[in-house]
Amino acid sequence: MDAVSGTLDGHWFSVFDCVTNDPSTARTVYLVQLPAVLPLVAVSRHSLVVDTIVPLLKRLVVERPDRHLYEIGDPAYDAVHVVECVDPETAARLLTPAVREFADDRRWLEWQVDGGYLFYAEPSGPRRGKDDAHAILTELRSLVDLVEVMDPGLWGEAVDAVPGDGRAGAEKVPGNAEGERADAVRGDVSDAVPSPGAQSAPGPGSGPSAMVRGGPAHTGVYPKGTLPSGFEAWSVRLPDAVVAAPVVCAGTVYVNCSDGRCYALDAATGAARWSLDVVGALKETPAVADGTVYVVGESGVLHAVGAADGQERWRQRVGHSGAPVVADGLLYVVHHPANLLRDASRIRVLDAVTGEERWERRLPDGSAAAAAVADGRVYVQGARAQLTAFDAVSGEELWHQGSTASQLSCCTPSVAHGMVCAGTGAGQLYAYDAATGEQLWGAQAAGVVDNTPALTEGLVFIGDSHGGVYAVDGNDGGLLWHLPNRYGASSPAICGSSGWIVSTKYGRGLFKISLSAGVVLWRHALDGRGTGPVYADGVVYVGTHAGTVLAVDAETGRKPARARRNLRV
């Protein structure tokens, strides 16, 4: 790759390849100019305090007479930062909690400031080409944002005193329908101030909502709807993989794409209405509530945008997180640490209108799931299948169900009829009393149960990794029927007596099934591994890793006509 220099958000940068001993490989080097010259601060980040390389790094630093060792990080929750510096005071001022969290979310191993530059070198790999432009821009954007997160006092800038409790506030930013981004992402306390020209978000309860698995309780049950007049099946081809299920709200399909964009499509025709371009891939389902769409990317930034025009209303740094969930005017996000089985997670609750933080709690372990909210309680499952319930408004812990499981569990719970259900990495499905946490029953599947269970009156449906779909009695967990599929299946999207599932991994199929008998009613082939299906107004929607968004008649499954296939946005 030829050296590239320029400015991004007012910061001069340079990106170039540093060739290694192997001419076919290189290390891409990024330089971003700082507002002022700083002494050397080189950071090595490690997720384990007992990492065997940490003692070696410490020894190498202390053996140099002109260098100092500076360590920071709470071993119970944070990564360990072993810092080589010439000025410990500067290192302490630089490595604020906001800076450490920002860097940890990107899982960088090391970065440094040296003189007037922020420096980052990628690990050795194949030489970059034009096809890597988006990935390079994402890394560069992250470095520029990292500079913005740093303490302005380092550059001699005055910092106004702001009221707050020490937690990060939301940043109001300007935007437009094409998804323009604002210049900075801050990590310190700030008041939430409306952006110039931005419209205020509607109040709680003033509009329809849609989110992962049908709502904040994630039951997978969708209301009956009427097929739009003249509807014809369609498919749209997006530039990159769709790995998270879309959501449908008020005639619009909102779908996150791995190219770093959220697309709003007309639910009846597939025509593009707007797109929002953010930093990092989008691999979690968006949430829609009261005229606002909430999108969180791998960069760890949560964006709140207008559902009608895609104009950004505010943004908030929440870290690498699961799908956002909205209920009763509050927005719930669960942070996913780099090492799920060793590092702890936290749940943050924000005001859905302003983005201001209401409460935050540390979880007993890591989590790879989203929160479930119902009846004034919020439920989060940990990576070892521990389940914790909090008061949805105050954050008070109500109960905790421990677990000693060693397999990674990534299942988001579902809640209905006074019961919470969640699957585990060992293939178990457990049901708990939603109010007390008492275990009611357990069931066993053949494969991993990472898909959120679907709950209807007296019935529970799950899809596992390589066994298929199971229907169990909601009263005692007894097996009612099993639809086998060696490629596994999603949990069904349910409307009335029918369900729709997607065969996972290599099956590549969308199926309609009878919920009473567990038989297949129709099958539609997909062009790649599919997301979970979504039902709305007589139509079933699904995304694929090939970048396709498909919409078909839920009753017939009839494929799109040739002229309606692979439409471009």
Q: What is the pLDDT of residues 53-96, one digit of tens each?
A: 566 666 776 677 777 776 665 554 445 666 777 777 787 787 77
Strands (E), 163-266: 209-210, 234-237, 247-249, 252-256, 261-266
The answer to whether 256 touches 295, Cβ cutoff 8 Å, is: yes
Q: What is the pLDDT of residues 193-251, one digit of tens each?
A: 344 345 555 555 556 789 999 999 999 999 999 898 889 999 999 999 999 999 999 99
Per-residue confidence (pLDDT) for residue 296, from 0 to 100: 94
Greater confidence (198 vs 491) lies with 491
Closest CA to 222 of 201, 246, 196, 241: 246
- Residue type for position 280: G
Closest CA to 403 of 363, 435, 434: 363
Per-residue confidence (pLDDT) for residue 189, from 0 to 100: 29
SS (H, E, C) 492-504: CEEECCEEEEEEC
The answer to whether 7 touches 1, Cβ cutoff 8 Å, is: no
Query: pLDDT band at 320, cuts 50/70/90?
Result: confident
- Region 345-350: mean pLDDT is 93
Sheet of 292-296, strands arranged across? 209-210, 287-289, 292-296, 301-306, 312-317
For the cut 50, the answer to whether the pLDDT of residue 451 exceeds it is: yes
For the cut 70, the answer to whether the pLDDT of residue 293 exceeds it is: yes
Rounded to the nearest integer, the mean pLDDT of the chain is: 82
* Poorest-pLDDT segment among 10-24, 171-185, 280-294: 171-185
Query: pLDDT band at 110, cuts 50/70/90?
Result: low
Contact residues for 130 (Cβ-Cβ < 8 A; gap 6+): none
Residue whose token pair is 């699961």? 322
98's enclosing H/E stretch is helix 97-105
For the cut 80, the answer to whether the pLDDT of residue 313 exceeds it is: yes
| Dihedrals phi, psi of 12, to nearest 5 degrees | -70, 140
Residue whose token pair is 């290192």? 91
Tally of CB atoms within 10 A around 27: 15
Residue whose token pair is 């799908």? 323
Greater confidence (548 vs 209) lies with 548
- Region 487-500: mean pLDDT is 92
Looking at residue 167, what DSSP letter applies? S
For the cut 70, the answer to whether the pLDDT of residue 101 exceeds it is: no
Greater confidence (456 vs 147) lies with 456
To the question of pTM greater than 0.75 for the whole model, the response is: no
CA pair distance 448, 410, nearest whole angstrom: 9
DSSP string, 101-156: HHHHHTT-SEEEEEEEEEEEEPPSEEPP-GGGHHHHHHHHHHHHHHHHHS-GGGGT
Greater confidence (206 vs 362) lies with 362
| Dihedrals phi, psi of 534, to nearest 5 degrees | -135, 135
Per-residue confidence (pLDDT) for residue 68, from 0 to 100: 74
For the cut 90, the answer to whether the pLDDT of residue 169 exceeds it is: no
Helices 97-105 & 133-149 angle (0-180, nearest 10): 170
| Dihedrals phi, psi of 60, to nearest 5 degrees | -65, -35
CA pair distance 205, 393, nearest whole angstrom: 16
Contact residues for 539 (Cβ-Cβ < 8 A; gap 6+): 227, 228, 231, 248, 267, 551, 552, 553, 554
Greater confidence (104 vs 558) lies with 558
Q: What is the pLDDT of residues 257-270, one digit of tens each?
A: 999 999 999 999 99
* Poorest-pLDDT segment among 41-55, 136-150, 449-463: 41-55
CA pair distance 189, 168, nearest whole angstrom: 5
Handedness of CA 117, 138, 141, 3 (dihedral sign): positive
